[in-house]
């Protein structure tokens, strides 16, 4: 008597792509104010440990063959290490950040100055936005978050500036106040004919946004609350290698099953400020 068996699905072959990113050493990192649920100024932080952990991330990118540019940190701007919030760069145009909270306001001009000196065309924002924290390029489409930090009017500004389709997603969980804490872009440069995919946390979004995500990304990885709460989704991918929080073990397994190569790093000290891998990584696209 024969037994019917079902073949084990074969994960697709993933191909890494070269990436160019901007980072900022956390030489002045501390938590001395509270602008998100992760921050507790009464608890001590260790700047030297934050630097050591950041250096591991920096070296990981170099080992992967990335080009890593650096912006000088500024004393008095402890959150400047979260470079992803400094802007959104595409087609050689740098759309600057206009921060919600006064404590981070000076970061916007600092990053725009760096973009100008690096030869990018700078578009100064008219509406509040926090850069790649809420603006993510997924293939040819831009996913844009709102609800806590970025005004929905900034999405219209981005659409007009870059001529791309911009899809608004509404965040509803204060712990996931930026889109890049609730969505991970897994395929930044999909091959012709292939569709970019993502991973996300369902509970971070309202129902209309979930409907959009389910329809557009039916094969998305759905990440657990446990992995999301160590900012596992705040990750960075080159299409094959995905740098993630080392404690996001479930997400690591999910990525391996899909043919990606997860690389865990410990940024637990920077997590005290509400940031992880992606927060420390601003992609530069000429």
The residue from 6, 127, 155, 178 that is catalytic is 178
Q: Which residues contact 3 (CB under 8 A, 6 or more apart)?
A: none
Which single residue is written with the structure tokens 């990113």? Answer: 21
What does the DSSP 8-state code read for residue 170? E
Q: Which residues contact 242 (CB under 8 A, 6 or more apart)?
A: 184, 186, 235, 236, 255, 260, 261, 262, 263
Is residue 277 a contact partner of residue 236, using CB atoms and an 8 Å limit?
yes
To the query of whether residue 127 is one of the catalytic residues in this protein, the response is no
To the query of whether residue 280 is one of the catalytic residues in this protein, the response is no
Is residue 85 a contact partner of residue 107, using CB atoms and an 8 Å limit?
yes
Task: Give, rounded to a whole angstrom, the gap between the first and last alpha carbons of the chain.
Answer: 62
Classify residue 216 as exposed, middle or buried by CB count within 10 Å of its CB (0-12, 13-18, 19+).
middle
Is residue 182 a contact partner of residue 171, using CB atoms and an 8 Å limit?
yes
Is residue 143 a contact partner of residue 169, using CB atoms and an 8 Å limit?
yes
- Distance in angstroms (rounded) separating the CA atoms of residues 80 and 146: 21
The residue from 24, 155, 279, 280 that is catalytic is 279
Upper half-sphere CA count for residue 167 (Cβ side, 13 Å): 19
CA angle 249, 225, 199 (to 5 degrees): 70
Is residue 86 a contact partner of residue 70, using CB atoms and an 8 Å limit?
no
State the catalytic residues.
178, 279
């Amino acid at each position: 008597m024969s037994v019917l068996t079902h073949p084990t699905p074969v994960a697709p072959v993933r191909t890494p792509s070269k990436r160019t990113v901007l980072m900022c050493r956390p030489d002045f990192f501390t938590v001395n104010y509270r602008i998100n649920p992760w921050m507790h100024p009464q608890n001590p932080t260790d700047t030297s440990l934050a630097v050591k952990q950041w250096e591991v991330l920096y070296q990981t990118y170099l080992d992967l063959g990335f080009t890593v540019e650096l912006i000088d940190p500024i004393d008095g701007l402890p959150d400047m290490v979260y470079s992803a919030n400094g802007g959104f760069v595409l087609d050689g145009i740098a759309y600057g950040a206009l921060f919600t909270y006064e404590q981070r306001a000076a970061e916007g001009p600092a990053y725009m100055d760096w973009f100008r000196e690096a030869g990018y065309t700078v578009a100064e924002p008219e509406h509040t936005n926090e850069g790649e924290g809420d603006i993510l390029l997924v293939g040819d489409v831009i996913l844009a978050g709102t609800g806590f930090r970025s005004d929905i009017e900034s999405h219209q500004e981005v659409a007009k500036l870059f001529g791309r389709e911009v899809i608004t997603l509404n965040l509803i969980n204060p712990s996931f106040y930026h889109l890049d804490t609730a969505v991970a872009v897994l395929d930044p440069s999909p091959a012709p004919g292939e569709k970019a995919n993502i991973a996300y946390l369902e509970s971070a979004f309202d129902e209309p946004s979930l409907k959009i995500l389910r329809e557009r990304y039916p094969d998305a990885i759905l990440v657990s609350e446990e992995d999301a709460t160590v900012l596992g989704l705040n990750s960075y991918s080159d299409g094959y290698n995905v740098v993630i929080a080392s404690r996001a073990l479930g997400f690591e397994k999910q990525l391996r099953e899909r043919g990606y190569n997860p690389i865990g790093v410990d940024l637990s000290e920077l997590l005290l400020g509400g940031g992880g891998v992606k927060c420390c990584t601003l992609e530069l696209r000429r």
